[in-house]
Amino acid sequence: QLIAAAKKTGAEASHPGYGFLSENPDFAEAVIEAGLIWIGPTPDSIRAMGLKDEAKRIAEEAGVPVVPGYRGEAQDAKTLGAAAKEIGFPVLIKAVAGGGGRGIREVTRAGEFADALASAQREAAAAFGDDRVIVEKLIAKPRHIEVQVFGDKHGNLVHLFERDCSLQRRRQKVIEEAPAPGMTDEVRAAMTDAALKVARAVKYENAGTVEYVVDGTGALRTDGFFFLEMNTRLQVEHPVTEAVTGLDLVEWQFRVAAGEKLPKKQSEIELNGHAIEARLCAEDPAEGFRPSVGRLRMLRPRYERPRFDAGFDEGDAISSSYDSLIGKLIRSNNEQLADDPDRDICRRMLAHDLECIRVLGVSTNASYMLRAITTPAFERGEFHTGFLGDRHDEFTDKKDLRRIAAIALALKDASEAALTSDPWRASDGWRSAAPSTMLWRFEQDDESVDVVLEQTKTGWETLLGGARVGVRLQPPYRDGPHQIHLASDDARPLFFECGGVERVVFLQGEAFTFEPLGASREHADGAGGDAVKAPLPGKVVAVSAKAGARVKKGEALVTLEAMKMEHALKAPRDGVIAEIAVSAGAQVKEGALLVRLEEEAA
């Protein structure tokens, strides 16, 4: 169908992107046979590198270190089990034809081998139509570092330095960066040389990536990296390489496919600054990264646009038929400031992009990635491929975020109410003795969050679960997001945005959809409140309170008829009636002040 479409539209060439078809040699051949130009490596090199066992044999022959393991023909459980024992546990079982992290099983004990093997074979047969596997030594605390290579039809071959893709979930990359933290000139020379050897062995042309698993237990070493596989296509993470080399890799792909020489010699290719990419995926990290499908009702990167390479627009539907990748956020910096390294500048900019992104319709991994890249360990560049998995609970916990989102919404409502002329919403904060308190109750997913706001001379304080936290609301800068500052966490403001009718709060990359169950200016527990207000709209049928009278907590003050029932409204505490705001027969709105108490005179 693709080839027919190409012919019908008069297309001369086919660029396969970086999906399944890009590494399918049969498709490449079919394109070429149809008289079109194939923008990618030759079908032969795709084939040679397509199988993990064959690729490792080629690498080994070229003198490149590979992970110790079994890559034999025999595929019976007994042979494979014996091989695993010889290699020594823990081992990885990997589908020979695997890709995208599928068909891989980690086995830590001999007793678990048979089951893991059967399940790897099942997945491999289903996903790749080939159930053969290899068995490899599992490298402890490994990092994933890869080298971008490029060849042309004239025998020229260059590398474009490395990328670190160690932040993975389910053995799939999530955060990628270039250059690799802690890389030295010496190790870089060894890794790029080895990558060129592998590429040369298959007369590689066009864009390709040589992947290594790297010993991450200490500093990077020239003898601490092992060839994993070669990806014979453009990679999802190629933008970080573009950012640090200033080159357009897709342009190079077209030029090479058209028969041109590589635009630059190795000596002309420079590495400058730093770049980090975050893959925004439609998934729920807390539910084992379950893909989230639906229509993208909103997809907005923040106002100062980062590079955002997206496969979707607002309004598009994300279906379960394709990958969950929505798009990629890329930040780079090459200002080379002495006192603030490039890596940390782009890390902070990317963090800000993640905390300001607004997505509605599907859940995403934005807040998950935000938390990962704002950890001190990531900041120091100390991580390995188990980093995300080890700290999963910490990166997926949303409890605190939900409460802060509720505070944000209450604060914004309160500040807006202060500006309106609606008398019951007006909150001038005047109180004879006690500070003004307001209670907001929000409901989400059958759980409710209470926020007690207390207006003080300097701003607001909130009561959450008994703890008192000072908060400050700062108006948005330009058309940017709102900001709240928590006194308990003065390190960084929290950015949020409130959606219209739906009461959505976008906070730290997460969307919280609240159903407000009403705001009350009265303190919930009755300990300190001094206002008696109408809990629902109705008619005042009796007022038993008398101005100036001393009342006891629980004493009925006003009777309200609402929804065909009478409600006795009682004194929230002991005190003196300071004001009676209504008389019998009055129709009142929800929240209307009925009676106000003041402290008992000493």
CA distance 86 to 72: 14
Closest distance between ligand ADP and the C-beta of residue 306, in Å?
7
Closest distance between ligand ADP and the C-beta of residue 233, in Å?
12
Q: With respect to ligand ADP, which residue has the nearer C-beta, 87 or 414?
A: 87
**98 binding ligand ADP? (CB under 6 A):** yes
Total binding residues toward ligand ADP, as defined by CB under 6 A: 27
Tokens 């010889």, located at residue: 86
Residues 579 and 530: beta-carbon distance below 8 Å:
no
CB atoms within 10 A of CB 134: 22
**127 binding ligand ADP? (CB under 6 A):** no
252-311 residues near ligand ADP, rule: CB under 6 A: 304
**142 binding ligand ADP? (CB under 6 A):** yes
CA distance 370 to 354: 6
Q: Which of 100, 182, 263, 537 binds ligand ADP (CB under 6 A)?
A: 100
Tell me which H or E stretch contains 395: helix 392-396
Instruction: Pick the closest to residue 86 from 137, 35, 42 (CA basis).
Output: 137
Q: With respect to ligand ADP, which residue has the nearer C-beta, 218 or 500?
A: 218
**151 binding ligand ADP? (CB under 6 A):** no
Annotated active-site residue 550? The verdict is: no
The residue type found at 158 is V
Pick the catalytic residue from 47, 169, 233, 347.
233
- 376 preceded by a cis bond (ω within 30 of 0): no
Both structure tokens of 439: 């209670």
Angle CA(356)–CA(361)–CA(363) in degrees, nearest 5?
65
Q: With respect to ligand ADP, which residue has the nearer C-beta, 340 or 502?
A: 340
Closest distance between ligand ADP and the C-beta of residue 370, in Å?
13
Q: With respect to ligand ADP, which residue has the nearer C-beta, 348 or 589?
A: 348
Helix pair angle (2-9, 25-33), 10° resolution? 30
Q: With respect to ligand ADP, which residue has the nearer C-beta, 48 or 588?
A: 48
Closest distance between ligand ADP and the C-beta of residue 270, in Å?
21
Length of the chain in terms of residues written: 602
Residue 214 pairs in a beta bridge with: 143, 225
CA distance 243 to 553: 68
107: left (phi over 0), alpha (psi -120 to 50) or beta: beta
Q: Which of 117, 139, 543, 594 binds ligand ADP (CB under 6 A)?
A: 139
Q: Where are the beta strands (DSSP E) in 475-537?
A: 482-486, 494-498, 504-507, 510-513, 515-520, 531-533
461-480 residues near ligand ADP, rule: CB under 6 A: none
Q: Which of 213, 249, 369, 588 binds ligand ADP (CB under 6 A)?
A: 213
The residue type found at 375 is T
Both structure tokens of 469: 């936290």
Closest distance between ligand ADP and the C-beta of residue 489, in Å?
16
Strands 565-570 and 556-562: antiparallel
324-363 residues near ligand ADP, rule: CB under 6 A: 335, 340, 345, 348-349, 352
Q: With respect to ligand ADP, which residue has the nearer C-beta, 335 or 422?
A: 335
**168 binding ligand ADP? (CB under 6 A):** yes
Q: Which of 35, 101, 294, 518 binds ligand ADP (CB under 6 A)?
A: 101
| Strand, coil or helix: 246 | coil
Q: Which of 17, 65, 99, 263 binds ligand ADP (CB under 6 A)?
A: 99
Closest distance between ligand ADP and the C-beta of residue 92, in Å?
5
Q: Which active-site residues does the annotation give?
A: 233
Binding region for ligand ADP (CB under 6 A): 67, 92, 94, 98-101, 136-139, 142, 144, 168, 171, 211, 213, 228-229, 304, 335, 340, 345, 348-349, 352, 385
